[in-house]
Structure 1
């Protein structure tokens, strides 16, 4: 008798084995990826300014969460609380660090992982003058918990100027000078009862001066008296000589 054909068990098993091999060779879920991180920050600022720091992850793949660590001189830049922004449909927060802040984004619940360009940002207050380097490192988390860390992938330099001093107030106008006092009014001239000016008293006279009543020179009166006395004496003498007849 001719031999009976063998069952096709081997032919079925062969494809199954091949299928197992194919499944085992399939790649595991890829780690989260990005082609790079770009940083946007003003090149110059002034103390007291509030600036926006922009971050962009390019061409991401399977990003369920990320942490962007921003490092800068804390004496120059300070993070504005609750100013972080990120993709919609997730949770954004900031975590202070010794040299800056970490911007965190995470999807919620069963939200799918992100892909493509992702934008994030945070606001900073300029608190001091100087030159500081702003550096950003990124850590990505995939949907299965796989992480990818790219340290110090972006940096920029900022020059911060001191504030312009406010002009000092001008000195007030000097107080106006007091006007010269008005000249005193002359004292009124005393008058008699009839309204005529009262005569003023004559100044005292020294010996040999003019007499106040007549204005004659006292020496002139003396000479005149002497002349009259001489004439009187002469008349008496003449009378005696003529026997008293004149």
Structure 2
């Protein structure tokens, strides 16, 4: 197998093939009906999106180079992410804000014809809006080239990542209000037992709180003493003062 081709102004990947085909008759310039590309219209920072490329109805394409131009502050081409037709060599070369996707046939492999599909990966590196532009250079087996003007895609809008929610710091619970101690009732003793209630006074008198002697009993005693005294006085009067 010849050494893997490397790009040098698009002719370098073809050196091995041109040596093999140097005796072949010259062919017409490579042809295509045009380039179309697709890329998501929106993305978020950190996303990886696929850029799809298609060359319509090609003829005599031995190699091609697709130059992808993007705003490097919004999108970046992922190195070594190029894909292309089978039976060839694909590479992605990044130079500053631009990247070139190169495909080349190997050795004596025949040139390509028909619709060709290729692709490359892009990484969203920052918020903003950018336009993706792709220019094409086709190379025939004899080194003849055909260049296509840049084709612009739909604008790609990259949104900033959503903020990560932060956990609130724990706060000390507020102390519950203390209830005031109950005020003892005037009728309660210190131990909380209800104070004894005084008995209501009896009819016609009442108790003497100092001695506890019933007032009715004192009245009866006084009447007895008064009767005795009256009887004694009556006796003295009758006896002339002598008992």
Q: Which of the five TM-score ranges fits, normalised by the shorter chain?
A: 0.5 to 0.7
Q: Deviations over 1:179-212 (max 9, x none)?
A: 99xxxxxxxxxxxxxxxxxxxxxxxxxxxxxxxx
- Could you tell me how far apart the structure 1 residues matched to 2:151 and 2:42 are? 21
Higher Rg of the two aligned structures = 1
Find the partner of 1:94 among 74, 80, 92. Answer: 92
Matched residue, 2:78 = 80
Structure 1 runs of 4+ with >6 Å offset? none
For residue 156 of structure 1, give the secondary structure of its aligned residue in structure 2: coil
Q: TM-score, normalised by structure 2?
A: 0.60
Is the aligned partner of 1:155 residue 2:163? no
- Could you tell me how far apart the structure 1 residues matched to 2:96 and 2:154 are? 19
Offset of residue 177 of structure 1: 5.1
**Are the counterparts in 1 of residues 27 and 140 from structure 2 also a CA contact under 8 Å?**
no
Find the partner of 1:64 among 62, 65, 71. Answer: 62
Offset of residue 82 of structure 1: 1.9
For residue 29 of structure 2, give the secondary structure of its aligned residue in structure 1: coil
Q: TM-score, normalised by structure 1?
A: 0.59
Matched residue, 2:34 = 36
**Are the counterparts in 1 of residues 78 and 121 from structure 2 also a CA contact under 8 Å?**
yes
For residue 114 of structure 2, give the secondary structure of its aligned residue in structure 1: strand
Paired residues, what number?
155
Matched residue, 1:126 = 124
Offset of residue 99 of structure 1: 2.4
Matched residue, 2:169 = 171
**Are the counterparts in 1 of residues 127 and 159 from structure 2 also a CA contact under 8 Å?**
yes
In structure 2, the gaps of 5 or more residues are: 1-24, 179-243
The alignment yields a C-alpha RMSD, in angstroms, of 2.1
- Could you tell me how far apart the structure 2 residues matched to 1:155 and 1:116 are? 22
- Could you tell me how far apart the structure 2 residues matched to 1:53 and 1:173 are? 50
